């Protein structure tokens, strides 16, 4: 029996997978989508024209990169909206603003005026019908040691060559961000509690939790 039916997960559900770089979002997104028969909304890294340059010179490329990500996320939001849901999304627009843009602004890599331009564009975008909140946000958490190991193992040179302090700061910012996030229900999952690479059955308990969360939210909305 398909797990989506077994756990009564509505066909039009939108779930967003969040967490710091390298924590395992894409792996989780693909596994959930395959198991539930949902579409994916993935971040495309290989075709991003700014990412490599950004890692070489944050100050020069921060604003360009943020605008690029905003445009990409907006197109994806529109696509999910037009399909009427049924998506697992890899990373949220909330992280672009609440983690990356803010961090680079606060570190002086983005000027005040650029940050304001970025913020007003973001606010204008979320006021369109394409931006309903996801039904559930899954937050993947793990120790900084495990995350650094995954970044190294994955082998994207631009990330491997970035000082460890950058990833440590991002890890801390993520913890603060999720502790005050309240735009939609949050399910926290520790990466030590499952192993999608070696144990195919470890997705089912996660789907069971998702189902429980979605039902609980529905009850609260009644
Ligand atoms: N459960 C897991 N156990 C071990 N390694 C994992 C697991 N999930 C992902 N990985 C590995 O960690 C790295 C980062 O995963 P990825 O899904 O690309 O993360 P993200 O999308 O959050 O950057 C990849 O090399 C991936 O193969
Ligand atoms: N908004 C962003 N600003 C800067 N860098 C970003 C942003 N969104 C994603 N990134 C980077 C981080 C990683 O190097 C790649 C892909 O992210 P991942 O967490 O591996 O899916 O893009």
90 classed as catalytic: yes
Q: Backbone phi, then psi, for 31, in 5-degree steps?
A: -65, -45
CA of 150 to the centre of ligand 1 (A): 6
**What interface predicted TM-score (ipTM) does this complex get?**
0.95
Least confident stretch, 10-19, 84-93, 127-136, 152-161: 127-136
The string of pLDDT tens digits covering residues 117-134 is 999 999 999 888 888 899
Considering the candidates 46, 90, 135, 146, report the single residue annotated as catalytic.
90
Q: Could you name the CATH architecture of 14-221? A: 3-Layer(aba) Sandwich (3.40)
What integer pLDDT is reported at residue 202 of this predicted model? 93
The string of pLDDT tens digits covering residues 139-185 is 999 999 999 999 999 999 999 999 999 999 999 999 999 999 999 99
Average pLDDT of span 20-42: 97
Band of pLDDT at residue 88, cut at 50, 70 and 90: very high
Closest ligand 1 atom to 23 CA? 22
**Both structure tokens of 124:** 């204008």
Strands 39-41 and 87-90: parallel
45 CB near ligand 2 (under 6 Å): yes
- Is pLDDT at 101 greater than 90 in this prediction? yes
- Is pLDDT at 1 greater than 70 in this prediction? no
Using H for helix, E for strand and C for coil, what is the string for the chain? CCHHHHCCCCCCCEEEEECCCCCCHHHHHHHHHHHHCCEEECCCCCCCCCHHHHHHCHHHHHHHHHHHHHHHHHHHHHHHHHHCCCEEEECCHHHHHHHHHHHHHHCCCCCHHHHHHHHHHHHHHHCCCCCCCCCEEEEEECCHHHHHHHHHHHCCHHHHCCCHHHHHHHHHHHHHHHHCCCCCCEEEEEHHHCCCCCCHHHHHHHHHHHHHHHHHHHHHHC
**Both structure tokens of 154:** 């994955």
- Is pLDDT at 198 greater than 80 in this prediction? yes
Average pLDDT of span 24-47: 96
Nearest ligand (C-alpha, residue 48): 2
What integer pLDDT is reported at residue 181 of this predicted model? 96
> CA torsion 137→143→148→149, rounded to 10°?
-110
Enumerate the domain spans of the chain: 14-221
- Is pLDDT at 221 greater than 80 in this prediction? no
Band of pLDDT at residue 200, cut at 50, 70 and 90: confident
How far from chain centre, in Å, is Cα 115? 21
Q: What percent of the chain has pLDDT over 70?
A: 100
Which residue matches tokens 């894409």?
A: 26
Average pLDDT of span 35-43: 96
**Both structure tokens of 33:** 């989508």
């Amino acid at each position: 029996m398909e797990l989506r039916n077994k756990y009564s997960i509505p066909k039009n559900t939108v779930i967003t997978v969040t967490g710091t770089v390298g924590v395992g979002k894409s792996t989780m997104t693909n596994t959930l989508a395959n198991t539930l028969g949902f579409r994916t909304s993935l971040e495309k890294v290989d075709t991003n024209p700014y990412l490599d340059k950004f890692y070489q010179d944050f100050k020069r490329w921060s604003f360009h990169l943020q605008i690029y990500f905003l445009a990409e996320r907006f197109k994806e939001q529109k696509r999910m909206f037009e399909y009427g849901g049924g998506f697992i999304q890899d990373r949220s627009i909330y992280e672009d603003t609440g983690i990356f843009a803010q961090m680079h602004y606060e570190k002086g890599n983005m000027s005040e005026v650029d940050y304001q331009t970025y913020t007003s564009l973001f606010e204008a975008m979320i006021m369109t019908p394409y931006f309903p909140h996801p039904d559930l946000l899954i937050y993947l958490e793990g120790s900084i040691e495990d995350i650094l190991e995954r970044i190294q193992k994955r082998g994207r040179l631009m990330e491997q060559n970035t000082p460890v302090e950058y990833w440590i700061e991002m890890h801390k910012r993520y913890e603060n961000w999720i502790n005050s996030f309240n735009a939609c229900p949050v399910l926290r999952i520790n990466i030590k509690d499952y192993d999608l690479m070696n144990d195919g059955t470890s997705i089912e308990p996660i789907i069971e939790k998702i189902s429980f969360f979605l039902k609980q939210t529905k009850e609260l909305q009644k």
